[in-house]
Amino acid sequence: MSNQDELLVDPENIPRHIAVIMDGNGRWARTRGLPRLEGHRQGYVALKRLITAASGMDVKVLTAYAFSSENWKRPESEVTGLMQLITFAAKVELADMNKQGVKIVCSGRMEQLSEPLRKQLEKDIASTANNTGLVLNLAINYGGRQEIVDAARRAAQLVADGQLTTDQIDEKLFASLMYHPEFSDPDIIIRTAGEQRLSNFLTWETVYTEIFVTNTLWPDVDKDTLVDAILAYQSRTRKFGGLIEKGETR
């Protein structure tokens, strides 16, 4: 990408909510003869770059798939290393997130995380709660199907408590029971390392989300990748199941 590409971005059509599936850390490390955890460490650096770039381009919400509910199946040493890395990052980056005005929230079954990580994330959430810049939504111990199950359980409990009838359960009501119903659905998902699947990510919210696949491995992602994704988004026509009216180009 060149500086000219960035000039092509329409500032009036920036995606409000961008989600990222951060894939390729292991491959990045393997091609360099490094441990997988070094790939994850460089992936953390890449996320820092993307947060700064997204903030500068007036993206409102960035959802990062940091650790899926399926990632527990990985070798214990890798899982432990990832948990330690997330805890470290959540602690050392807090001051910079506040400096940038980033508001941190989390999605996932937080109660299943270790106490040190859970407490650090709770501290980050509380410390940044009044920030008005980019919202960084960290999906940790997150699964799209699990989110839907959790919403269904909440709906069932409301019915059991007499606060809701089954006839009142519709898409709007169900959407209000998701982890963060205050966010608009993602406009675009960036999937790195050439993979072309959603991997149980934001299953409910992505029914009309655009998908941008790049062969770039996650640790190599930078502002150029973000600009490429935004340009791809701006080149597409979003119909949401409808038709384009005669004379319209988008």
Active-site annotation, residues: 23, 71
The two tokens of residue 42 are 């460089």
Pairing of strands 135-142, 61-68: parallel
